[in-house]
Amino acid sequence: MTDSALNDGGAAAGDPRAAELAGRLEAVRRRISSAAAAAGRTDRLPTLIVVTKFHPAEDIRRLAALGVTDVGENRDQEAAGKAGILADCGLTWHFVGQLQTKKAKSVVRYASAVHSVDRPQLVDALAKAMQNERAATGRAPLDCFIQVNLEDQAGDAGAHRGGAAPEDVLLLADRIAAADGLRLAGVMAVAPLGAPPEPAFAKLAVVSSQLVAQHPGASAISAGMSQDLEAAIAFGATHLRIGSDILGSRPAVG
């Protein structure tokens, strides 16, 4: 196999899906660098996490061959299955979905990071799971992002996309920082539906700076999806979670 066959995800070998993914990935990478330039950002480009939920493991294998290193999933069962199948790809797995405490044990077997830490019970469950996992495997600490709720107020439960209230972030941060096996990475948020993302990401940037004042190492900001990655980059995102603009639309379930 030539180098180009290795690096194009199979596109040169006549795999049309690989060619499609290569084109979409390239377009997203271009959007990221343009947005970083437009925002005057001179730090390193944000980490691109390709959110692969609902898409088959073969697509993730194609993405790995195209140079993707970080993937995101939002359901434990699906993620665990894919991580098992793709163990040879050397990928970093990010868990980005709402997480039940009883799933913590499973998630820490494959995930390097959890972006949806939003309550003390989940911190405790992850810490306990990591204690056992580290004793068994010696794995690296789990990166924890505190998910922040950016909805205006409690109000419409239907629109709630998860996360801790901004005023609860520092207490959660202290709890994560105090736990063996957990590393406080920073904050994460999903922009509210049906509203411009800029005010929400501006609010997240404020929460992030308050967090960094207490925990200088916790400077990561996981924000930005297909529709709003430019806005997220303008407000300091360090980790982008992009699904549909790379993989296409998801099957209409879940």
Ligand X SMILES: *Cc1c(COP(=O)(O)O)cnc(C)c1O
Total residues at the site for ligand X (CB under 6 A)? 14
- In the region spanning residues 151 to 180, those forming contacts with ligand X, defined by CB under 6 A, are none
For Cα atoms 184, 197, 74, give the angle at the middle one, nearest 5 degrees. Answer: 50
Closest contact distance (angstroms) between CB of 215 and ligand X is 23
Give residue number: closest CB to ligand X.
Answer: 243
State both tokens at 54: 């609902």
- Contact string (CB under 6 A) for ligand X, positions 10-39, x = contact: ------------------------------
- 9 or 97: CB nearest ligand X: 97
Establish if 74 lies at the interface with ligand X (CB under 6 A). yes
Burial class from Cβ neighbours inside 10 Å (0-12, 13-18, 19+) for residue 254 reads exposed
Answer yes or no whether residue 51 interacts with ligand X by CB under 6 A. Answer: yes
Using CB under 6 A as the binding rule, whether residue 244 contacts ligand X is answered as yes
Report in angstroms how near the CB of residue 244 gets to ligand X at its nearest: 4
Q: In sequence order, which residues have a C-beta less than 8 Å from that of residue 112 and are 6 or more positions away?
A: 92, 93, 94, 140, 142, 143
* Residue of the chain from 36, 190, 231, 234 that contacts ligand X (CB under 6 A): 190
Q: Does residue 47 touch ligand X according to CB under 6 A?
A: no
In this structure, are residues 213 and 187 in contact, taking their beta carbons and an 8 Å threshold?
A: no
Q: Based on CB atoms, which residue is closest to ligand X, 106 or 226?
A: 226
**Binders of ligand X in range 194-233 (CB under 6 A):** 225-227
Say whether residue 98 binds ligand X (CB under 6 A).
Answer: no
Find residue 183's DSSP bridge partners: 143
In the complex, the smallest distance separating the C-beta of residue 122 from ligand X, rounded to whole angstroms, is 15
- Which stretch, 32-40, 86-94, 106-114, 235-243, contacts ligand X (CB under 6 A)? 235-243
CB of 205 to ligand X, least distance (A): 18
Instruction: Report yes or no: 225 and 243 within 8 Å, Cβ to Cβ.
Output: yes
Task: Indicate which single residue of 53, 55, 62, 239 sits in contact with ligand X (rule: CB under 6 A).
Answer: 53
Site membership for ligand X, residue 94 (CB under 6 A): no
114 vs 179, beta carbon nearer ligand X: 114
Using the minimum distance from each CB to ligand X, give the nearer residue, 50 or 181: 50
Residues that bind ligand X (CB under 6 A): 51, 53, 74, 96-97, 190, 225-227, 241-245
